[in-house]
Amino acid sequence: MKFYHGSRNPNLKELNLEHYSGKIYLTDKYELAFMYAASPLRFWNFDREIDMVTFREIAKNGFKTQFQGKKAYIYTCEIEEFEKDEKNISGHNYKVYKPVKLQGSPEIIDDCYEKLISLEKQGRVCLERWEDKTDDEQKECQRKIIEAFSPFMEKDRIEHPEEYKLIISLLPELEIKEEKT
């Protein structure tokens, strides 16, 4: 069966278990591989009824901020022994418990924002744009994001600096203020 793996690493030849903590996750859906490779932030949903990824914009110009200028790589592989990940909401994720050799060169995505818009035009993803939300929906969206991310921001600033910078660029009110002594 054909699977996809998205990454920001341009030089993968094989996926090994050590890097993936005993199991490797793959998907049979290109759009999910793109989502995992394109951005460290996972503001998305998978609608099983329409079998499609929906990306959510969490601030004005959020898609551009999150995706523009970012490179990603989509790898493919053929696997015979795999296990469906029943816990995954999409129904398109699978687990493999041995190293996976990737086939050929990856698809190079030079600008993830352009690719995202292209996937939308092709009807392969749905984009929930900020400007299409009412003022109340915008406020509620940001309230939920702030509520979810605030407890982790100090830790993330050190452990996940790229994600931290991206969240702060989208929602500057989350920024952790330095303690003055």
Q: Structural domain tally of the chain? A: 2
% of the chain beyond a pLDDT of 70: 90
Residue 116 and residue 36 share a domain? yes
pLDDT at 30 over 50: yes
Residue 164 and residue 124 share a domain? no
Residue 152 and residue 84 share a domain? no
**How many angstroms separate the CA atoms of 10 and 63, rounded?**
23
pLDDT at 181: 39
Global pTM value: 0.81
| Containing structural domain, residue 57 | 2-130
What number is the average pLDDT over the span 84-104? 87
Mean pLDDT of the chain: 85
Flag whether 66 is in a domain: yes
Beta strands 103-109 and 44-47, pairing class: unpaired
Residue predicted with more confidence, 135 or 39: 135
pLDDT at 175: 64
